[in-house]
Amino acid sequence: MKTKLIPLLFMTLLALPALGQAPKAKRPNPLAPISDAPGRPRVLLIGDSISIGYTLATRELLKGKANVHRIPANGGPTTRGLVQIDSWIGDGKWDVIHFNWGLHDLKFMPHGKRQVTPAAYEKNLDSLVRRLKQTGAILIWRNTTPVPEGKVGPLRIPADVVGYNTAARRVMQKYDVPIHDLYSFALPRLQKIQRPVNVHFTPEGSAALAGEVARVILDALE
């Protein structure tokens, strides 16, 4: 009997330290909805995983100054935006909408073609901007951040970013939408703020982008 109890006692002792440990705090989910603080302007962030990366830091930087919401998903390419834009905007009033599409549009799919051609991208953006302008919000277009050199998967070509950003610029100029040039901010800092051979940014890099996003939003609200 004693022999059988020893292994059981040993396992119990091993479990004791774990029982005394405090549970790890859950990492905040940037896609989760938030409740508005009364009397503060409402901001909506639209974008892909790059914007997901800077959502929480932007929200913290604008704490007490604005209610910073974001769409509850990766914004993907403009084709997804066209399908989802009405549900993303909802029925509430927005004071500022900071938005981007691009990295998913210009990526190559398994069949060897871009997900959205430059011409279709420009046409889609035109439709999306017209819809966003109906909200009456201040619009801020955030251009697409750089693609690094190397074998980035899914395949993206660094020079394509310039072409897609140029197409987007034509649309924004047509509708008098200011451009937040995050591409030019990030490009000379890529070695420090972007993950190696990856379109995504390090936590420090996302924080740096958030500082820029918060700055332009605050300027728009003043």
Q: What CATH number should be reported for the domain holding residue 80?
A: 3.40.50.1110
User: What rounded mean pLDDT belongs to the chain?
Assistant: 91
Per residue in 103-118, pLDDT tens? 999 999 999 999 999 9
Calpha distance 148→131 (Å, rounded): 32
| Mean per-residue pLDDT, 109-129 | 97
Domain annotation covers residue 7:
no
- Does residue 195 carry a pLDDT above 60? yes
More confident residue, 12 or 169: 169
Per residue in 30-70, pLDDT tens? 999 999 999 999 999 999 999 999 999 999 999 999 999 99
Domain annotation covers residue 14:
no
Residues spanned by the domain of 104: 37-221
AA letter at 23: P
User: What's the alpha-carbon Rg for the chain, to the nearest Å?
Assistant: 22
Domain annotation covers residue 105:
yes
List the structure tokens of 166: 């140029």
Domain annotation covers residue 120:
yes
Structural domain tally of the chain? 1
Domain annotation covers residue 15:
no
Q: Please tell me the predicted confidence (pLDDT) of residue 24.
A: 65
Domain annotation covers residue 57:
yes
Q: What is the pTM of this model?
A: 0.88
Peptide bond into 196 cis (omega under 30): no
Domain annotation covers residue 204:
yes
